[in-house]
Amino acid sequence: MQLKVLFWLAICLLSACTPVTEQTSQLDTIYQRDSLRVGLLHGPTSYFIGIDGPSGFEYELAQTLAHRLDVKLELFPSYHLDELLQKLDTGQVDFIAGGLTLTSQRLSRYRAAPAYRWINELLVFRQGDDWPRSLDDIKEPIVVIQDSSHAQTLDRLSIDHPNLRWQEQKDLDADDVLQLVVDGSIPYTLTDSNQLAINRRFYPNLSIGFTVSENLPVAWLLAADTDDSLLTVLIEFFGNIYQSGELITLEDRYFGHVSQFDYVDTLQYIDAINHTLPDYKDLFIQYAGELDWRLLAALSYQESHWDPKARSPTGVRGLMMLTLPTAKQMGVSSRLHPEQSIRGGSRYLHRLVSRIPERIAMPDRLWFALASYNIGWGHVEDARILTQRQGADPDTWLEVKQRLPLLRQKAVYQHTRFGYARGDEAVTYVENIRRYYDTLIWTDEKQQAEQRLEQQRLKLTEQFSPGADTAAAKPDIKQ
């Protein structure tokens, strides 16, 4: 709101000192229509429809900007970059947000806002195939998306590698191309490092051959023939959210838990989803309460790998690995009984969530509760107090998780209320659950989509089968 007031004040002052002209700035147009029009590229790293509606890193960034300008956010999503570029060229959108790498070709046609992320371009192949270690090892065409930054990279590299071949596909997105590599339909593709990190949770057989380009800037694109009013605001906007820590907090929310990849663990988890989870899925759904059942299942997998007889050296047992005192408090008489364990674990997690100060918003509130499930709320509170003493925000998981490992150090924990704790393990614990949760959401939604398609197929088969009674389906034609 403050930014909007200052802008209009400046306009009024300027109008009093200068003749009125018919020229209207881009920012003035945004305020007059009371909306910011943003072209968004569909994808898990930018914009998608989640269980709670529109979501994604780029979406939340654009939403934050619209809030700062005190205008509505109008979305123009698309699966195809060329469609968004056409909208930008014709003025239908104010800028494009889609995790776009700044290439020389793009900068020759468009202007860019300040870079807010940096990525590497990687050559990807399927685990088990011959490992290409350089472009000289590439014997078949590399498949990339048409007019993508990857296609432009290959065009640039072909100057020094005249035998380099590639194919550009128009009707595919980044996820589709990676799926083709997993299926063995194509041998190679190029992908961005953040895109690969997300997809390896679902497709652990994606392997990195080598890095093609390093530290490439990612930014929003603006039309080249507009004035500087919006660009000036964007420079200030990114500077402010960088200095305040909002940018890194948002980045951690979407990408902070996917940086680590364990090939064996991911394979085992996907296998367990297919073969073990069905035995307990209904119980997780039944006792999820106000939480997503898939989060409860992810917590259980982190605790016990869905083994109802699991036992740790410290004596916690069962699917939810409850201590004996906690089990008694939650009304659990047998920790090895799957239903009792899931019911007790869910009840305990809900209690922990309720203990988190209400001012802490989701999802940070949930991450604090999960850390408390692992090491206790007292130790988490010690880390929050330490965070506050160091001048950081104790209500942000990003800040607190950087201090939790300090609870191992005597110089630190001797001055805390609850003393020593393996805080680093709690951080790993929470980040693992976040990865498991994301993977389970993806697999569950994929299974639901496949079931809907199968139901439609069966319905059509029954309707048009040779033995079906089609008389009822025919209209009653009167002569």
- Measured between alpha carbons, how far is 451 from 472 in angstroms, rounded to an integer? 27
As a whole number of Å, the end-to-end CA separation of the chain is 70
Write out the DSSP string of 414-477. TTSSS----HHHHHHHHHHHHHHHHHHHHHHHHHHHHHHHHHHHHHHHHHHSTTS--TTTS---
Q: Kindly state the tokens that stand for 222.
A: 């603006």
For 381, phi and psi rounded to 5 degrees? -65, -35
DSSP of 101-150, one letter per residue? Answer: B--HHHHHHEEEPPP-EEEEEEEEEETTS----SGGG--SPEEEETTSHH
**Closest among 123, 95, 98, 127 to 110, alpha carbons compared:** 95
Q: How far apart (Å, rounded) are the C-alpha atoms in residues 75 and 78? A: 10
Q: Where is 209: in which H helix or E strand?
A: strand 206-218
- In DSSP terms, 118 is beta-bridged to 217
DSSP track, 305-332: TT-TT-B-TTS-BTTTTB-HHHHHHTT-
Question: Is residue 241 within 8 Å of 40, Cβ to Cβ?
Answer: no
Please confirm whether the linkage preceding 19 is cis (ω < 30° from 0).
no
Give me the amino acid identity at 212.
V
303 given a catalytic annotation: yes
Q: Say if residues 219 and 115 touch (Cβ distance below 8 Å).
A: yes
* 428 token code pair: 């790993």
- Cα atoms found within 13 Å of the Cα of residue 400, Cβ hemisphere only: 25
The Cα–Cα gap between 350 and 52 comes to 20
Q: Which of 58, 121, 303, 399 is catalytic?
A: 303
Q: Which long-range contacts (CB under 8 A, 24 or more apart) does 102-107 make?
A: 102/216, 102/217, 102/218, 102/219, 103/149, 103/152, 103/153, 104/152, 104/156, 105/152, 106/149, 106/152, 106/221
Q: Are 48 and 56 in contact (CB under 8 A)?
A: yes
Catalytic residues: 303
